[in-house]
Structure 1
Amino acid sequence: MARKVNYEEKISALEAKIEKKQNEIKALKGKLGELKSAKAKEDYKELMEYMVTNNLSAEEVLSSIKG
């Protein structure tokens, strides 16, 4: 006699796995956001230091970028 498949258990197990992975993705997205923010702050700090060191204003930097 063929073994009966319990679809409810399999569905429930897959839903639990999906929820776990969604939580992991959410946590990773949070870490990604934090890293992007930290990088942006670091880039801004580096740019400001360059501008101060070279006595440049924002307008001067923008005009040199735009050509």
Structure 2
Amino acid sequence: MARKANYEEKISAIEAKIEKKHNEIKALKSQLSDLKAKKADGDYKDLTDYMQANNISAEEVLAKIKK
């Protein structure tokens, strides 16, 4: 006689795996967001340092960009 599959257990196991992966993705998205913010802060600091070192104002930078 063929063995009857326990679909409820299989469904539950797959749903648990999906939930686990969902939580992992959420954590990764949070890490990504944090890294992007840190990169943006670093880029902004580099830009302002360069502007100060070369005596360039924000208005001058915007004028160059808009051309």
Give me the TM-score of the superposition, normalised by structure 2: 0.96
Alignment deviations for residues 11-34 of structure 1 (CA, whole Å, 9 cap, x no partner): 000000001001100110110011
Unaligned runs of 5+ in 2: none
Distance, in Å, in 1 between the alignment partners of 2:26 and 2:14 is 18
Identity, in percent, stands at: 70
**Paired position in structure 2 for 1:51:** 51
In structure 2, the partner of 1:61 is 61
- 5+ residue gaps, structure 1, are none
Report the Cα distance in structure 1 between the residues aligned to 2:65 and 2:50, rounded to whole angstroms: 14
How many residue pairs match? The answer is: 67
Residue-by-residue CA offset, 1:22-53 (whole Å, 9 max, x unaligned): 11001101100110000000000000001101
- The alignment yields a C-alpha RMSD, in angstroms, of 0.6
Residue aligning to 1:13: 13
